[in-house]
């Protein structure tokens, strides 16, 4: 029995800050960041936007495309490293907003930037096991980079949601593969506001080792080559890393560009490769195969092979396209407004 | 600041825009009422508000109440939804001076209030301009 995506949706906040605006404040070399990280600007959440609000909007788009009522969803799993509460699930709010309560399973996942694809994997697997007809997997983040830290140029906001089911499938999941080790490349301790990272250690032994191993393992298991795919999407901590990973795995740039959102979106952490997948589904043709590998520090990667069905033609216009949202009337802000929006300014208590 | 219990009671309206429709005369109430103000009917069917509409009128809040100071100046407007129901809410993702009567808007799920640094987060609807 085929199992796969029956509805998908994304949400992109409208506010943006340019890399040059951040670099100006810290006396950094903006062109070097823009060229080195292949980043031009990033999305910024307003104070009234968080993982919960963006998850609701992305999930509503996914349900519209799935053509089902929220009450038919049997589970909601939200992956994020920026759940608004330390104790209290994001999923209960999202489920209530979707009209999915009370007969539903829900859990908030954490695995740095891989939490979204973890949620997708578990939702997909529960449907595959026959436990429920539909399940929602969501990746969303409003991540923070410490002022002046390299992460500040990329940490952004966005969400992607997927309804998994067995009827009217938009993209069949043909294979999955996971690769994980204990690799301390990026972390945030309890009660700490900003994460820390191990600088250049986040590259070779962390991102590239896991993304490339997962990618190679996935193709080996599926007995497929890069030529068998029309599209590929990888986790995008910046613009540079996913392009290099694609090249090393044998995917040409043309197969990656559609889902390569980082240059103008930034790193949406748990939303990153899932949002790239939604941008690909917006244009993919029936029969196309999509190669997807996420990455989460700590570290691990989830791999998926999706095969697009005829159904895609009927559903993609039912909700806003991801790149259309990215390009829709962006509101550019200065660093002062950005610092206020992100709670970086120390104030007196109300 | 609204308390947890009141916030919880209003979840169907704040999260899902649930309204009641008088089964006798068809008038829609948001939030729901027990007696229809038009025909005094007492039977209602549950309905959900339209998600899009146009700005009927608005004002710009420059001296904000406690808890909203960081948002000033911000717009609050009455929006006529496509189903004819008029509701009041903040209008965000725009500069207040860009707004006009007749601006097309849609509902979005947003954080509406928060009880200080450690209290409950309150979610609900706001309007955003649409193309």
> What ranges do the domains of chain A cover?
4-170+315-341, 171-312
Q: What is the pTM of this model?
A: 0.97
CATH 3.90.180.10 fits A171-312, yes or no: no
pLDDT tens-place values along chain A, 350 residues long = 999 999 999 999 999 999 999 999 999 999 999 999 999 999 999 999 999 999 999 999 999 999 999 999 999 999 999 999 999 999 999 999 999 999 999 999 999 999 999 999 999 999 999 999 999 999 999 998 999 999 999 999 999 999 999 999 999 999 999 999 999 999 999 989 899 998 888 899 999 999 999 999 999 999 999 999 999 999 999 999 999 999 999 999 999 999 999 999 999 999 999 999 999 999 999 999 999 999 999 999 999 999 999 999 999 999 999 999 999 999 999 999 999 999 999 888 76
Q: How far apart are CA A210 and CA A203, in angstroms?
A: 10
* Residue A102 near chain B (CB below 8 Å): no
> Which class does domain B4-129 fall in?
mainly beta
Shortest distance, CA B117 to any CA of chain A (angstroms)? 9
Partners of A107 in beta bridges: A77
> Residue for token digits 């939702």?
A123
Long-range contacts of B120-124 (CB under 8 A, 24+ apart): B120/B4, B120/B7, B121/A50, B121/A52, B121/A84, B121/A85, B122/B2, B122/B7, B122/B14, B123/A52, B123/A53, B123/A93, B123/A97, B123/B14, B123/B15, B124/B10, B124/B14, B124/B15
Is A325's Cβ below 8 Å from some Cβ in B?
Answer: no
Q: Which residues of B38-59 are buried (b: 16+ CB within 10 A; e: fewer)?
A: eeeeeebeebebbbebbbeebe
Contacts of B126 in chain A (CB under 8 A): 48
Do B111 and A349 count as a contact with CB atoms less than 8 A apart?
no
Q: Which chain A residue has the Cα nearest residue B91?
A: A48
* CATH class belonging to A4-170+315-341: alpha beta
Same topology between domain A4-170+315-341 and domain A171-312: yes
Q: Mean pLDDT across the stretch B56-81?
A: 95
* Integer Cα distance of A326 and A329 in angstroms: 8
| Spatial separation of the C-alpha atoms in residues A125 and A117, rounded to whole Å | 12
Q: Closest Cα to residue A142, out of A54, A41, A40?
A: A54
**Of residues A113, A118, A173, A214, which has the active-site annotation?**
A113
Is A235 in the active site?
yes
Where in chain B are the domains? Answer: 4-129
What's the gap in Å between the CA of A49 and the closest CA on chain B?
Answer: 6
Q: Catalytic residue, from A21, A81, A118, A152: name it.
A: A81
Q: How many CA atoms lie within 13 A of A192 on its CB side?
A: 12
Q: In chain A, what is the straight-line distance between the N-terminal and C-terminal CA atoms, in Å?
A: 57
The per-residue pLDDT of chain B, averaged, comes to 94
For A343, the closest chain B residue by CA position comes to: B70
Per-residue tokens: A47: 């104070």
- Identify the H or E element spanning A76: strand A73-79
Cβ contact A137:A131 at 8 Å: no
Nearest CA to B99 out of B109, B90, B107 is that of B90
Report the residue from B69, B92, B111 with minimal CB separation from A50. Answer: B111
**Inter-chain residue contact B111 with A53, CB threshold 8 Å:** yes
* Interatomic CA distance for residues A350 and A333, integer angstroms: 25
**Dihedral-angle region of residue A148 (phi above 0 means left; psi in -120 to 50 means alpha; beta otherwise):** left
The answer to whether A113 is a known catalytic residue is yes
pLDDT tens-digit series, residues B3-58: 888 899 999 999 999 999 999 999 999 999 999 999 999 999 999 999 999 999 99
For residue A94, the chain B residue with the least C-alpha distance is B15
Using the Cβ of A50 and the Cβ atoms of chain B, whether some distance falls under 8 Å is answered with: yes
């Amino acid at each position: 029995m085929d199992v796969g995506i029956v509805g998908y949706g994304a949400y992109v906040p409208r506010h943006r800050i340019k890399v040059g605006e951040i670099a100006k404040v810290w006396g950094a070399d903006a062109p070097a960041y823009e060229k080195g990280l292949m980043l031009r600007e990033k999305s910024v959440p307003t104070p009234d936007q968080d993982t919960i609000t963006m998850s609701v909007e992305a999930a509503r788009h996914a349900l519209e495309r799935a053509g089902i009522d929220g009450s038919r969803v049997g589970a909601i799993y939200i992956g994020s490293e920026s759940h608004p509460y330390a104790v209290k699930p994001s999923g209960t709010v999202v489920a209530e907003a979707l009209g999915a309560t009370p007969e539903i399973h829900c859990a908030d996942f954490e695995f740095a930037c891989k939490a979204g694809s973890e949620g997708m994997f578990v939702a997909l697997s529960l449907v595959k096991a026959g436990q429920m007809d539909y399940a929602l997997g969501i990746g969303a983040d409003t991540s923070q980079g410490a002022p002046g830290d390299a992460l500040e140029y990329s940490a952004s906001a966005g969400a992607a949601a997927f309804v998994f089911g067995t009827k009217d499938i938009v993209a069949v999941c043909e294979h999955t593969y996971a690769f994980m080790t204990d690799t301390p490349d990026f972390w945030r301790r309890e009660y700490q506001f900003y994460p820390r990272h191990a600088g250049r250690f986040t590259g070779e032994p962390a991102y590239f080792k896991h993304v490339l191993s997962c990618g190679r393992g996935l193709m080996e298991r599926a007995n497929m080559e890069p030529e068998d795919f029309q599209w590929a999407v990888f986790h995008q901590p910046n613009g540079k890393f996913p392009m290099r990973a694609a090249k090393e795995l044998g995917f040409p740039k043309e197969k990656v560009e559609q889902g390569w959102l980082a240059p103008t979106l930034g790193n949406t952490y748990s939303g990153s490769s899932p949002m790239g997948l939604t941008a690909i589904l917006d244009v993919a043709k029936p029969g196309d195969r999509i190669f997807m590998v996420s990455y989460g520090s700590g570290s691990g990667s989830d791999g998926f092979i999706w095969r697009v069905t005829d159904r895609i033609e009927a559903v993609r216009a039912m909700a806003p396209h991801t790149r259309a949202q990215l390009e829709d009337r962006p509101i550019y802000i200065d660093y002062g407004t950005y610092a206020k929006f992100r709670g970086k300014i120390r104030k007196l208590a109300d | 600041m609204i308390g947890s219990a009141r916030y919880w009671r209003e979840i169907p309206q704040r999260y899902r825009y649930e309204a009641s429709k008088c089964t006798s005369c068809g008038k829609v109430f948001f939030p729901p009422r027990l007696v229809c103000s038009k025909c005094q009917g007492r039977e209602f069917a549950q309905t959900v508000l339209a998600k899009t509409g146009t700005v009927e009128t608005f004002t710009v809040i420059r001296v904000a109440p406690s808890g909203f100071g960081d948002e000033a100046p911000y717009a609050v407007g009455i929006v006529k939804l496509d189903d004819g129901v008029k509701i009041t809410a903040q209008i965000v993702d725009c500069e207040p001076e860009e707004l006009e009567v007749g601006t097309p808007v849609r509902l979005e799920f947003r954080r509406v209030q928060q009880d200080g640094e450690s209290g409950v987060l309150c979610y609900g609807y706001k309007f955003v301009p649409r193309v």
